[in-house]
Amino acid sequence: MKINIILAGVGGQGILTIAKVFGQVAVKQNLFLKQAEVHGMSQRGGDVQSNLRISDKEIFSDLIPEGEADLIISVEPMESLRYLPLLAPDGWLITNAKPFVNIPNYPEIETVYNEVRKVKNHVIIDAQGIAKEIGNVLASNIVMLGAAAEKTCFSMEQLEVALHEIFISKGEKVVDLNVKALRAGNEAKSL
Amino acid sequence: MQKLMLLGDEALAQGALDAGMSGCFAYPGTPSTEIMEYVQHNKEAVERDIHRTWGSNEKTIMEAAVGMSYAGKRTMACMKHVGLNVAADPFMNSAFVGANGGLIVAVADDPSMHSSQNEQDSRFYAKFAMIPCLEPSNQQECYDMAFLAFELSEKFKLPIMIRLETRLSHSRAGVTRRDKIAENVGKLPEDKNQFMLLPSFSRRKYKNLIKLQSELVAASENSEFNSYTDGSDKSLGIIACGLGYNYVMENLANRDVNYPILKISHYPLPRKLVEKMYKECDKILVVEDGQPIVEEMLKGYISGNEKIKGRLDGTFSYDGEMDPNKVAVALGFGKEVVGTVPEDIVGRPPALCVGCPHIDSFVTLNEALKEHGDGHVFSDIGCYTLGFMPPYNGINTCLDMGASITMAKGASDAGLFPAVAVIGDSTFSHSGLTGLLDCVYDKSNVVIIILDNATTGMTGGQNYTGENKIEEMCLGLGVEKEHIRVVTPLKRCHEEMVQVYKEEIAYNGVSIVIPRRECIQTMTRRIRAQKKAAKK
B210 and B233 in a single domain? The answer is: no
- Enclosing H/E stretch for B424: strand B420-424
- 3-class SS at B399? coil
Tell me if B250 sits within 8 A of B238, measured CB to CB: no
Taking residue B453's Cβ as centre, other Cβ atoms within 10 Å add up to 27
Measured in Å, how far apart are chain B's first and last C-alpha atoms?
33
**CA neighbours closer than 13 Å in the CB half-sphere of residue A36:** 21
Whether B173 and A112 lie within 8 Å, measured CB to CB:
no
To the nearest whole Å, the CA of A190 is away from the closest chain B CA by 21
Q: Which CATH number characterizes residue A54's domain?
A: 3.40.920.10
To the nearest whole Å, the CA of A59 is away from the closest chain B CA by 8
d(CA B34, CA B42): 12
| Number of domains observed in the structure of chain A | 1
Whether B253 and A115 lie within 8 Å, measured CB to CB:
no
Exposure b/e, B190-207, CB count within 10 A at least 16 = b: eeeebbeeeeeeeeebee
Closest residue to A44, CB basis, from B168, B347, B353: B353
Q: What is the pLDDT of residue B1?
A: 60
Domain that holds residue B63: 4-221
Q: What is the pLDDT of residue B339?
A: 86
To the nearest whole Å, the CA of A42 is away from the closest chain B CA by 5
SS3 content of chain B, % helix, strand, coil (to 5): 45, 15, 40
Domain-located, residue B527: no
* A contacts of B330 (beta carbons < 8 Å): none
Closest residue to B341, CB basis, from A65, A84, A103: A84
B510 and B394 in a single domain? The answer is: yes
Whether A115 and B250 lie within 8 Å, measured CB to CB:
no
Whether B172 and A60 lie within 8 Å, measured CB to CB:
no
Tell me if B137 sits within 8 A of B246, measured CB to CB: yes
Contacts of B174 by beta carbon, 8 Å cutoff, 6+ apart: A27, A32, A33, B3, B4, B5, B139, B140
Q: Which residues of chain B have pLDDT under 50?
A: none
Q: What is the pLDDT of residue B50?
A: 98
Exposure b/e, B394-403, CB count within 10 A at least 16 = b: bbbbbebbbb
Tell me if B263 sits within 8 A of B229, measured CB to CB: yes
Domain-located, residue B351: no
Domain-located, residue B349: no
Site from A5, A16, A54, A62 to mutate, B interface, most B CB atoms within 10 angstroms: A62
To the nearest whole Å, the CA of B47 is away from the closest chain A CA by 23
Nearest to A74 by CA among A50, A46, A104: A50
* A contacts of B323 (beta carbons < 8 Å): 61, 63, 65
| Number of domains observed in the structure of chain B | 3
- Model confidence over A42-78: pLDDT tens digits? 777 889 999 999 999 999 999 999 999 999 999 999 9
Residue B5, beta-bridge partner list: B174
B366 and B445 in a single domain? The answer is: yes
**Cis amide leading into B31 (omega within 30):** yes
Residue that finishes a domain, picked among B202, B221, B240: B221
- Single-letter residue type at B234: K
Whether B351 and A102 lie within 8 Å, measured CB to CB:
yes
Pairing of strands B171-175, B236-241: unpaired
Q: What is the pLDDT of residue B536?
A: 73
Domain-located, residue B528: no
Site from B3, B171, B535 to mutate, A interface, most A CB atoms within 10 angstroms: B171
B297 and B191 in a single domain? The answer is: no
Nearest CA in chain B to A83: B341
Whether B459 and A47 lie within 8 Å, measured CB to CB:
no
DSSP state, residue B224: T
Domain-located, residue B178: yes
Domain that holds residue A178: 2-187
Closest residue to B339, CB basis, from A33, A39, A85: A85
Whether B173 and A65 lie within 8 Å, measured CB to CB:
no
Nearest CA in chain B to A50: B171
Pairing of strands B236-241, B283-287: parallel
Q: Which CATH number characterizes residue B373's domain?
A: 3.40.50.970
Residue A39 burial (10 A CB sphere; 0-12, 13-18, 19+): buried
- 3-class SS at B353? coil
Q: Which residues of chain A have pLDDT under 50?
A: none
Closest residue to B349, CB basis, from A43, A46, A78: A46
Whether A33 and B174 lie within 8 Å, measured CB to CB:
yes
Q: Enter the ipTM.
A: 0.95
Whether A33 and B344 lie within 8 Å, measured CB to CB:
no
Domain-located, residue B341: no
B242 and B211 in a single domain? The answer is: no
**CA neighbours closer than 13 Å in the CB half-sphere of residue A41:** 18
* B contacts of A74 (beta carbons < 8 Å): none
Whether A107 and B345 lie within 8 Å, measured CB to CB:
yes
Contacts of B63 by beta carbon, 8 Å cutoff, 6+ apart: B90
Whether B114 and A34 lie within 8 Å, measured CB to CB:
no
d(CA A138, CA B518): 25
Taking residue B76's Cβ as centre, other Cβ atoms within 10 Å add up to 33
d(CA B333, CA B331): 6
Site from A44, A106, A166 to mutate, B interface, most B CB atoms within 10 angstroms: A44
B202 and B67 in a single domain? The answer is: yes
Exposure b/e, B136-170, CB count within 10 A at least 16 = b: bbbbbbbbbbbbbbbebbbebbbbbbbbbbbbbbb
Residue B39 to residues A12, B36, B42, B78, B166, Cα–Cα distance (Å): 24, 5, 5, 11, 19
Q: Which CATH number characterizes residue B326's domain?
A: 3.40.50.920
**Cis amide leading into B391 (omega within 30):** yes
Tell me if B260 sits within 8 A of B216, measured CB to CB: no
**CA neighbours closer than 13 Å in the CB half-sphere of residue A158:** 15
d(CA A105, CA A100): 12
Alpha helices, DSSP H only, in A2-76?
16-28
To the nearest whole Å, the CA of B149 is away from the closest chain A CA by 24
Q: What is the pLDDT of residue A14?
A: 75
d(CA A159, CA A146): 9
Whether A67 and B339 lie within 8 Å, measured CB to CB:
yes
Alpha helices, DSSP H only, in B282-321?
293-299
DSSP letters, B3-65, are PEEEEHHHHHHHHHHHTTEEEEEE---TTTHHHHHHHHH-HHHHHTT-B--B-SSHHHHHHHH
